[in-house]
Structure 1
Amino acid sequence: MKIAVFVPSRPHFGNILTQLPFFCALKAEYPEAKIEVWSKFEQSKLLLAVDAVTSIINYKKFSFIHLVKELKKQKYDVVYNLYSGSDKVHAAIKFANVRQSFGHSSNNLHKFCYHKYLHINKGVQYIANSHLALLNTVKDCSYKPSIISTLVQSTTHRNEITLLPGGGAGEYKRWSLEHYLAAAERIAIEHPNLTAINWVLGPDEKHYEGIIPTKIVNVPVKLHHSPNVYELIDLALSSKLSIANDCGPTHIFQMLTVPLITLWGWKDKKTSPYSTMREWFYSYENSWAITPNEEDKCINSISVDKVCSLALAQLKR
């Protein structure tokens, strides 16, 4: 069997990570299938790196006619379209006459392009659940984002906390390193049974290495530089608590429903984090979102005391 999947036109690490549950579930439903991703960005190769797909076709420069011809040429048995915002892709799938085609969008006119169609509005659920909703509807199943845990072998639980101070989109997403260090120290003092404090550092946080100490209140510190997906999953599954900015790796922790405190910033004086959170914050029993004070509209107006109080309460639950 040969399956094509069109993915959203979003190249960022976090965007691609939220597609992982769909592909894990797809492989579970079609274990012998060859799965090809249709993407406009080379960053989708991340899906190849974790063996979630078989191959990738970059169609960024394809005209509509070229797109239809190539879809016909590949002779797919099934096409799934997660790229809800492209009329061009919806129409190309219709004209390619694929044996089975499934897609979703918020425009009911697109239903005429598919054998099974799901009407789905943006901003009403976590983005990974939006992707999974299509497969769950088609196959009458109930996959959840936590299916990504199947990418690794079982992890031994460790009494560690993990801090994710990244924020590649800009300083408005970065709770300061000084705040993180102060929070780590207070948590280590008041929760003395910790075995390690993990720090997840991306390329933009490389300079933190010389500032973060090797121990915090005698708790060993472990630095993880640009960990891959498998390593992130392992860290998440072994974390008793994580504190994170809204950054790409945080999605792994969210999707695995790790006890998590996320810190959200204002992009400017008019753009609040609340609209972003509708799709990018995954709410579950042990997830918490902290936003800046309304008056300051700055992520660093979130006090260390506020974060620590919540963190310590969570650790005692």
Structure 2
Amino acid sequence: MPSKIDKTKIKKILLITLSNIGDVIVSFPVMDILKGEFPDAALSVVLGPKGESLLKNHPLIQQVYVYDKRQPMTKTMALLGQLRRERFDLVIDLRNTAIPFLIGAKYCTFPFLRNDPTVHMRLRHLNRLRSVVDFNAASYEKVGLYISRSDREYIDKIIREKIGHNQKFVVICPSAADHRKRWTEVGFAQLCDKLIDSYGVKVVFLGDGEGIKVVDRILAKMRNVPVNLSGQTTLVQLAELMRRSALAIVNDSGPMHLASYLDIPVVTIFGPTDPVIAAPWGKTSYFIRKEVRCPACENPQAVLEHECMKAILADEIFSAIRFTPEGVTFSQ
């Protein structure tokens, strides 16, 4: 097992996080603690190409290294050589690899710590960090997500021109990188119509790539006219818009973890993934998953519709949401 470190000797830190956007966001609490415990140390990060946009302009990150697990071995060896030359004092490896040993870190997490499959990913990361770093404070300043002035001003303009100042709005992110994690388009359409009819809120759709087409199909099924911002924001700008919203409704995806990190009330619809390890982790959250027989879950290689997703009804989610003068609450 790794030994606890002498904090006075830590000047350069490397955090190795995972590839997917959601995985990178779940590692933000680790970044918060590292910057809180070692405020004068230079922090660098290794991540996958999907998450690069989240950190590449971060003023508190000295260097962002992109590691693509599909890249040629020659490129990986070059990256290892570059990391070794940096002579990091502390390496926190959330990927659980041999990289810390290959680059000669003074202190590092142990690559053979067993991951408990019943523990949420966020807590797994914190437990791995705790194996080498003592931290006791109940909370740290949230520095993992950096939103620039230009991004805030862009969202100011979006709200002013398309949503309205002082207008309560709900962010809807109906897509997911894995299509199996997407709730039904009819369900999203029905739920959004109910929210507009009952609470008078604006509903704001966001998405990119394939998600733009998903949003278009949902809008065609709605009676009301929502605000469609799909394809018009970066991931960081989405986070700023979400920060100003009353509520986010999402699948198990990167935006769910953004809402959790920002402590925005969030509803998450789960299908084949397990909420035990991936549930929203903010202070105000609600998730729904149906325990029904689902041939698609039983045979992930087959091209089948997920009955577990189809079984979740808009009325069930709508009845769990309460808008109050103080904010959004959920009935369980």
Structure 2 counterpart of 1:290, which letter? I
C-alpha contact (below 8 Å) 2:15/2:44 kept by paired residues? yes
Q: Distance in 2 between matches of 1:105 and 1:25?
A: 20
For 2:31 and 2:329, the matched residues in 1 are separated by 35
The offset of 1:55, in angstroms, is 1.6
Shift of 1:235: 2.5
Contact 2:174–2:214 (CA under 8 A) maintained in structure 1: no
The count of corresponding residues between Structure 1 and Structure 2 is 284
Structure 1 pair 244/65, CA: closer, same or farther in 2 (3 Å)?
closer
Counterpart check, 1:4 vs 2:14? yes
Judged with a 3 Å threshold, the aligned counterparts in structure 2 of structure 1 residues 251 and 242 are, in CA distance, closer, same or farther, namely same
1:75 aligns with 2:82: no
Q: Do the aligned partners of residues 134 and 178 (structure 1) sit closer, same or farther apart at CA in structure 2, a change above 3 Å counting?
A: same
Pick the aligned partner of 1:256 from 256, 262, 271.
Answer: 262
- The letter for the 2-side match of 1:230 is V
- SS where residue 83 of structure 1 aligns? coil
Could you list the per-position Cα deviations for residues 256-303 of structure 1 after superposition, in whole angstroms to 9, with x for gaps in the alignment? 23222211113xxxxxx33xx222113555322211351453312211
Q: 1:122 maps to what in 2?
A: 116
1:294 corresponds to 2:289? no
The letter for the 2-side match of 1:308 is F
- Report the residue type matching 2:266 in the other structure: L
Letter in 2 for 1:29: E
Does the CA-based 8 Å contact 1:293-1:302 persist in structure 2? no
Partner of 1:111: none
Tell me, yes or no, if the aligned pair for 1:236 and 1:253 is still in contact at 8 Å: yes
CA separation of 1:65 and 1:245: change in aligned 2, threshold 3 A? closer
Letter in structure 2 aligned against 1:141: N
Query: In structure 2, what is the Cα distance between the partners aligned to 1:65 and 1:222?
Result: 44
Match of 1:168 among 158, 166, 177: 177
Q: Structure 1 pair 150/210, CA: closer, same or farther in 2 (3 Å)?
A: closer
Q: CA contact under 8 A between 1:257 and 1:284: conserved in structure 2?
A: yes
- Report the identity percentage: 19
CA contact (8 A) 1:145 1:255 kept: no
Please give the alpha-carbon distance, in whole angstroms, between the structure 2 residues aligned to 1:182 and 1:104. 49
Aligned to 1:151: 146
Match of 1:42 in 2: 49
Q: What residue number does 2:238 align with?
A: 232
Post-superposition shift, 1:159? 2.1
Q: Which amino acid aligns with 2:124?
A: S
How much does 1:58 deviate? 5.1
Task: Decide which of 170, 190, 203 is 1:182's aligned counterpart.
Answer: 190
Partner in structure 1 of residue 136 of structure 2: 141
Q: Give the letter for the 1:186 counterpart.
A: K
CA separation of 1:106/1:298 partners in 2, compared to 1, >3 Å: closer, same or farther? same
Q: Assess if the C-alpha contact under 8 Å between 2:13 and 2:88 holds in 1.
A: yes
User: SS of the residue aligned with 2:56?
Assistant: helix
Report SS of the residue matched to 2:229: strand
2:316 paired with 1:309: no
Q: Does structure 2 retain, via aligned residues, the 8 Å contact 1:81–1:103? A: yes
Cα distance in 2 for partners of 1:232, 1:298 equals 28
Q: Shift of the alpha carbon at 1:185?
A: 0.9
Equivalent residue for 2:271, pick from 258, 265, 276: 265
Q: How well do the aligned residues superpose, as a CA RMSD in angstroms?
A: 3.7
TM-score scaled by length of structure 1: 0.72
Greater alpha carbon shift after TM alignment, 226-235 vs 13-22: 226-235
Cα deviation code 1:58-93 (max 9, x no counterpart): 566379998886555322233222222x2x335436
Q: Is the 8 A contact 2:280 2:287 kept in 1?
A: no
Residue 105 of structure 1 deviates from its aligned partner by: 5.5
Supply the AA of the counterpart residue of 2:86. Answer: Q
Q: Secondary structure at the match of 1:242?
A: strand
Tell me the CA shift for residue 160 of structure 1: 1.5
**1:27 corresponds to:** 35
Shift in CA distance, 65/184, structure 1 to aligned 2, threshold 3 Å = closer
